């Protein structure tokens, strides 16, 4: 009986590995008390799960989502931040901006930045006295 059921299920789920994952997950759900949608006919839970998939009572997409959800250990929920981050401005400059004063910002070109980075050298390594 089960071999015919597997052949029927291959039409619904192309990959045999995916089919086994989905059917075994469904069989465990049936063992846990999930209602079945086909007649049991004295079949064991894996055969009932395969018959449900083969008869089209369960869609492969829903089964795939159930398997993924069961395997996830941590579900990250993307929540918005409570408040915006404070601006990173020097408090003296911030007070000048609020007062409406004309504030001069330093500008640096990319070439100046690269020249400055090239001039940096790593700190000297400590010398070993051999002691």
Q: Please check whether residue 13 lies inside any domain of the structure.
A: yes
Digit-coded pLDDT (tens) for 13-69: 888 898 988 999 999 999 999 898 888 888 899 989 998 898 888 888 888 888 888
Whether residue 31 contacts residue 49, with contact meaning beta carbons closer than 8 Å, is answered with: no
Q: What angle do CA 80, 90, 112 make, to 5 degrees?
A: 100
Q: Please check whether residue 17 lies inside any domain of the structure.
A: yes
Q: Residue 32 belongs to a domain with what CATH number?
A: 3.90.940.10
Domains of the chain: total = 1
pTM score > 0.75 for this model? no
Q: Please check whether residue 16 lies inside any domain of the structure.
A: yes
Query: Cβ of 30: how many Cβ atoms within 10 Å?
Result: 18
Q: Please check whether residue 110 lies inside any domain of the structure.
A: no
Digit-coded pLDDT (tens) for 95-128: 766 776 666 667 778 888 888 888 787 767 777 6
Q: Please check whether residue 66 lies inside any domain of the structure.
A: yes
Calpha distance 63→106 (Å, rounded) = 60
Q: Please check whether residue 27 lies inside any domain of the structure.
A: yes
Q: Please check whether residue 87 lies inside any domain of the structure.
A: no
Place of tokens 């049936």: 30
pLDDT reported for residue 109:
85
Residue 129 pLDDT greater than 60, yes or no: yes
pLDDT reported for residue 24:
92
Cα separations (Å) of 57 from 48, 62, 78? 11, 11, 34
Band (130; pLDDT cuts 50, 70, 90): low
The domain containing residue 17 runs over which residues? 2-71
Q: Please check whether residue 64 lies inside any domain of the structure.
A: yes
């Amino acid at each position: 009986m089960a071999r015919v059921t597997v052949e029927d299920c291959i039409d619904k789920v192309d990959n045999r590995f995916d089919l086994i994952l989905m059917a075994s997950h469904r069989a465990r759900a049936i063992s846990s008390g999930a209602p079945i949608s086909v007649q049991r006919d004295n079949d064991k839970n894996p055969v009932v799960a395969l018959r449900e998939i083969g008869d089209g009572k369960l869609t492969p997409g829903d089964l795939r989502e159930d398997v993924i959800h069961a395997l996830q250990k941590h579900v990250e929920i993307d929540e918005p931040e409570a408040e915006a981050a404070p601006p990173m401005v020097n408090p003296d400059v911030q007070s000048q901006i609020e007062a409406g004063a004309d504030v001069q910002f330093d500008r640096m070109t990319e070439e100046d930045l690269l020249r400055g980075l090239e001039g940096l050298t790593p700190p000297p390594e400590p010398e070993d006295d051999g002691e």
